[in-house]
Structure 1
Amino acid sequence: MSTPVQLPFEQANVLHLAPGLRALQTRGAVHRVRTPEGGEAWLVTGHAEVRQLLDDDRLSRNNPDPAAKDSGSALLASLLGGFATDHGRLRALLEPHFSPERMAELRPYVEKVTGQLLDQLAERKPPVDLRETVALSLPIQVMCEWLGVPQEDKDRFGGWTQDAANVGDPVRSKQGLGGLFGYCKQLVADKRANPGDDAISRICATEGITDDEVLGLTALLLFGGYETTVARIGTCAVLLLSDPEQWQALVDDPSLVPGAVEETLRRSMPNPHNGGMPRYAVTDFEIDGAAIRTGDFVLLNVIAANHDEAAFADPDRVDITRDTAGSLAFGHGAYNCVGAALARMQLQVVLTQLVTRFPALRLAAGVDELRLRHDTLIGGLVQLPVRW
C-alpha cells in the first residue's frame, strides 16, 4: 500500500477546489490519506463513488471503536452520532415539518425579514459586509419563527451553536454544546406545557416520541438550520458576484434564481479544512480498486465529487443554466439533508431580492482577499464586503 497523503489540502481561494485535492482526483476516485490527527483514512473524491457510498449500508456514521477519540467538534459527535443510531425513524418524524406546504407558509416571513435586512443595508454607506448584515441575521430569525424560539433568545443560542461548531477549541465546543442542550431542554419542557403553532410543538405532539429524542432533534435543527445557511448565503453570493456575466443574467431574468441557487450550492466551498463526511466501514468491501476493511475510517468528499469532470463538464465554471440534477450538495438517498427545502427557500428569497433591489451589487474586495473560516465545523466566509 502506498504512503498515505497528508490532509488537509490548503485552499487556494474561496472559488477553486484545493490544488492538492484536484491533483488526487485526477489520479483516481479513492485514496489513502492521513488525517490531521495522525490517523489513516480512505478519501473518496469521485462523484459516482461518493454518491454510491452516501447511501450505502456498508458504512456507518458511528465509530465502531468506543475508545476512539473523536475529531472535530463536540456537536458533530453528539448530534450526528445520535441521529445515526435511529436514523430512519427520526428522519420520518422530521420530514413532515419540511413539507412544501410548511415551506410555503413560512416563505412570506422569510421575504419580510429579508426585505427589512436589505432596507438596513441600503441605509448604510458602502462598503458593507453582506455576511454580517444579511447572512448572519436572516437564518437565525427564520429558525426562531419556524421552531417557536422567542426572538429575544436568538443571540443566546446563536452564540452557543457557533461555539459548539468550533474545531480548534474542544473546551469551547463542549461548553457551547452544553449551553445549547440546556436551553433546548427548557424549551422542550415549555412546549410540552404550552404548545403553539411551531415545529417543536408539533414534534412534541408526535405519538411515542421521548423528551430526549425531541431534545436531540431540536438541537440538531437549531444548529443545522443556522450555521449551514449562514455559510451558504455567503458562498452563493460570492460565486455569483465574482462572475459579472452570471450576475447580470440574473438581474435580467430573476426567474433563473432557482437554477443559480443549485449551481452555487454545487460549487460551494463551505469548509477549507474538512476532508469529507466521516463514515466507518461495518464490513469489508472494494470500491474503485481500494480494499476497505471493517472499521476503516472513510471520508466522503462531496466538494470534490461536485467538481468531478466525469459528472459536470467544466466543473470549476459557474453556469446558472447548468443541469445540476446530479449535485450532492445536500447528500443523497436516505441521507439527503432533510432541511434542504428550508435552505433552498431562504437562498432563493435572498438572491431574488438582491438582484432586484441591488442590480449593481459588486464585490468590494478582490477574491484573493476573501478568507474562509478555519475555526468552525461548517466554514463559510469570514467577511463579504460589497458595494452598489
Structure 2
Amino acid sequence: MNVATAEGLQLPFARPNVLDLAPLYEVLRREAPVAAVTTPAGDPAWLITRFDEVRELLGDKRLGRSHPEPERASRISTAAVQDGPTGNYETEEADHKRMRRLLTPAFAAKRMVLLSDHMQRLVDSYIGHLIADHGRSPDGIVDLHTTLALPLPVAVICGLLGVPESDREHFRSLSERMATYSEGGDAHQARAEFSRYMIGLAEAKRADPGEDVISDLVRAQSADEDFDYPQMIRLCVGLLFAGHETTVNRIGLGTLFLLTRPGQWNALIADPAGRVNATVEEIMRLGAPGDLGLLRYAHTDLDVAGVTIHRGDAVILSTNAANRDPSVYADAETFAPNREEPAHLGFGHGPHFCIGASLARTELRVVFATLARRLPGLRLAKPLEDLDVRPTITGGVTELPVTW
C-alpha cells in the first residue's frame, strides 16, 4: 500500500505497548505527513504527523476548535471529550483570549512554585501510604497508580478550583465515563451529569465565594455580559477534567519509562534535584497517552505539505508522532534527558499552549524527585506488555504494580 495516496486509514492504529507508538506513524511521517484517515467515529479527517507541520498548525489561526457548520463536522470518537467541534465559530478567538486572561494568574509559574511545598506534603503522604501498603502486602506488591498517580493530581486540581474533597470520587467517575469510548451514549450522559454537577458547584460558589478558580470565574461571568453562563460551565468542566487526567497519565508513563530503563532511573537516584527537570521534559516528549491527537477544524482552505485541506475539514495533530520525529530529535525513540533539540510539543504550542503546563511540571518534578529519594529500590512487579491500557481517549494504564 502506498500510504502517500491511500485514503481512509483507520484510527486508532494498533500499538505494541503503552510506551511505544504504532510503527505506522514512522511510515506516515516519512511518506505522508498529511494523510487521509477515518476517525474511530467513522468520519473523514486529516492526520498530521511530522514535527514541522504539527508545530506550525498548532499556531495557525486558520484552524480552530469550532466549526463553520458544526452540524456537518466530522466526529472524532464516541467519547465525550474532544469528540467534535467546541465553541462559537464567530467568537472563538475573543472567547479564547478572555479565557486566557481569566486563568493565567491562577496557573502562573510563580504561583505553582508557591504551591510546591503543599504538593511535597501531599506526595510524602501518598508515598507513606504506599510504604504502609507494601508492609501489609503478602507479596510486597503495591499499586502506585491508585495510591499516588491518581490521587495527587485530583487533590491538587480540586484545591485550586475549589472542589470539595467529598466530591472527588464523584467527579473522577464522571471523568472516566466521559473519556471512555461508548457506543451506547454513556459518555455523553456522563458529560451532561458533569455539567449539572458543575452548575450546582458554581451556584454554591456564587452564594459563598472562596479563594479559588471557580469562584473567580463565577464573579467574572456575572460582570461580563459576553461571558455567557453555559460557556463558563463548559470551561469549569474542562478545567476539572484536563487538570487531573493528563497528569495522572504522565506520572504513570514516567514511572514506566524510568523503571524499564535502569540507567536513567539510577542517574535520577544519584542526583534527584539536578536531573529531575530534564527527566520531566523527556517524559513529556516521549510519553504518549491516547492514540489520536489534538483536534482542529479548517476555517479556510489551506495547503499543508502539498495537500489541500478544505474549509470545514477535520485535522488531527499528532503531537505524539511529532515528538518522535527523527528529523528533529537524534535517536528520537530513546529516552534521553538533557536533550538540546527544540522544545517538545507535549504541552502544545502557540495560542493554545497548555495553560496548566506549570502546574503539571511542578507536580511531576515533585513526584519523581521524591520517588528517587525515598524509594530508590523501586521496580516494576509486572511485565510492561502485561499492563492493561485504559479504554479511554486519554489512555494510560489501569494499574502500576511495583515493589522494592
Aligned identity (percent) is: 39
CA shift for structure 1 position 324: 5.7
Give 1:297 shift. 1.8
Partner of 1:137 in structure 2? 151
Q: Given residue 34 of structure 2, which amino acid in structure 1 is its aligned partner?
A: V
Offset from partner CA, 1:239-272 (integer Å, 9 cap, x none): 1111000000000011210110110110012013
Residues 65 and 85 in structure 2, CA contact (< 8 A), matched pair in contact too? no
8 Å CA contact 2:41–2:75 kept in 1: the answer is no
The amino acid across from 2:398 in the alignment is: V
Match of 1:76 among 82, 91, 102: 82
Distance 1:201 1:101, change over 3 A: farther
CA distance in 1, matches of 2:248, 2:83: 21
Q: Residues 295 and 203 of structure 1: is their aligned pair in 2 closer, same or farther, counting only changes over 3 Å?
A: closer
- CA gap 1:80/1:143 in 2 versus in 1, 3 angstroms: farther
Q: 1:53 corresponds to which residue?
A: 57
Residue 301 of structure 1 corresponds to: 318
Asked whether 1:369 is paired with 2:383, we answer no
- Name the CA distance, whole Å, in 2 between partners of 1:300 and 1:151: 35
CA-CA distance at 1:71 after TM superposition: 3.3
Identify the match of residue 125 of structure 2 among 116, 119, 127: 116
1:387 maps onto 2:403 in alignment: yes
Question: Could you say which residue in structure 2 is the equivalent of 1:229?
Answer: 247
> How much has 1:74 moved relative to structure 2?
2.2
Report the counterpart of residue 337 of structure 1 in structure 2.
354
Task: Supply the AA of the counterpart residue of 2:45.
Answer: A
Distance of 1:339 and 1:78 partners within structure 2: 22
Q: Shift in Å at residue 75 of structure 1? A: 3.5
Q: 1:319 aligns with which of 336, 357, 366?
A: 336
Paired residue for 1:278, among 295, 302, 305?
295
AA matched with 1:123: A
- Determine the structure 2 residue equivalent to 1:149: 163
Amino acid at match of 1:221: L
Residue 191 (str. 1) matches residue 210 (str. 2):
no
Q: Deviations over 1:182-220 (max 9, x none)?
A: 111111111112111222222333342544343222111
Larger CA deviation: 133-142 vs 72-81:
72-81
Q: Distance in 2 between matches of 1:257 and 1:79?
A: 37
Please identify, of 338-347 and 37-46, the stretch whose mean Cα deviation from structure 2 is larger: 37-46
**For 1:40 and 1:19, how far apart are their aligned partners in 2?**
22
Give the Å deviation of 1:136. Answer: 1.2
- In structure 2, stretches of 5+ residues that fail to align are 135-139
User: Aligned equivalents of 2:154 and 2:88: distance in 1?
Assistant: 24
Q: Which amino acid aligns with 1:161?
A: S
Length, aligned pairs only:
385
SS at 1:167 equivalent: coil
Query: Does residue 279 of structure 2 align to residue 267 of structure 1?
Result: no
TM-score by length of 2: 0.90
Q: Give SS of 1:205's match.
A: helix
Is the contact made by 2:45 and 2:315 (CA closer than 8 Å) also made in structure 1? yes
Q: Distance in 2 between matches of 1:204 and 1:78?
A: 26
CA distance in 2, matches of 1:108, 1:82: 40
Amino acid at match of 1:8: P
Aligned-pair CA distance for 1:306? 0.1
Q: CA deviation at 1:52?
A: 0.2
List 4+ stretches of structure 1 deviating above 4 A: 77-80
Report the CA distance between 1:80 and its aligned residue: 4.7
Gaps of 5+ in 1: none
- Counterpart CA distance in 1 for 2:380 and 2:144 is 10
- CA separation in 2, counterparts of 1:328 and 1:97? 23
Q: RMSD across aligned C-alpha pairs, in angstroms?
A: 2.0
Q: Give distance in 2, aligned partners of 1:189 and 1:13.
A: 44
Structure 1 partner of 2:116: 107
Is the alpha carbon distance of 1:38 and 1:220 closer, same or farther for their aligned partners in structure 2, counting shifts above 3 Å? closer
Judged with a 3 Å threshold, the aligned counterparts in structure 2 of structure 1 residues 199 and 66 are, in CA distance, closer, same or farther, namely: closer
Which of 12, 15, 21 is the matching residue for 1:8? 12
Letter aligned with residue 109 of structure 2: P
- Is the alpha carbon distance of 1:107 and 1:214 closer, same or farther for their aligned partners in structure 2, counting shifts above 3 Å? farther
Change (3 A) 1:213 1:278: closer
Provide the rounded CA distance (Å) in 2 between the counterparts of 1:34 and 1:100: 39
Given the alignment, which residue of 348, 354, 374 partners 2:371? 354
Aligned partner of 1:66 among 49, 53, 70:
70
**Is residue 61–residue 279 contact of structure 1 (8 Å, CA) maintained in 2?**
yes
CA distance in 2, matches of 1:2, 1:180: 42
Cα 1:134–1:196 change in 2 (3 A) is same
Amino acid of the structure 1 residue aligned with 2:185: V
Q: Which amino acid aligns with 1:112?
A: R
Partner SS for 1:98: coil
Q: Which residue of 2 aligns with 1:238?
A: 256
Amino acid at match of 2:130: L
Return the match for 1:205 from 219, 222, 225.
219
After superposition, the Cα gap between the structure-2 partners of 1:42 and 1:62, relative to the gap in structure 1 and judged at 3 Å, is same
Deviates more, 1:326-335 or 1:277-286: 277-286
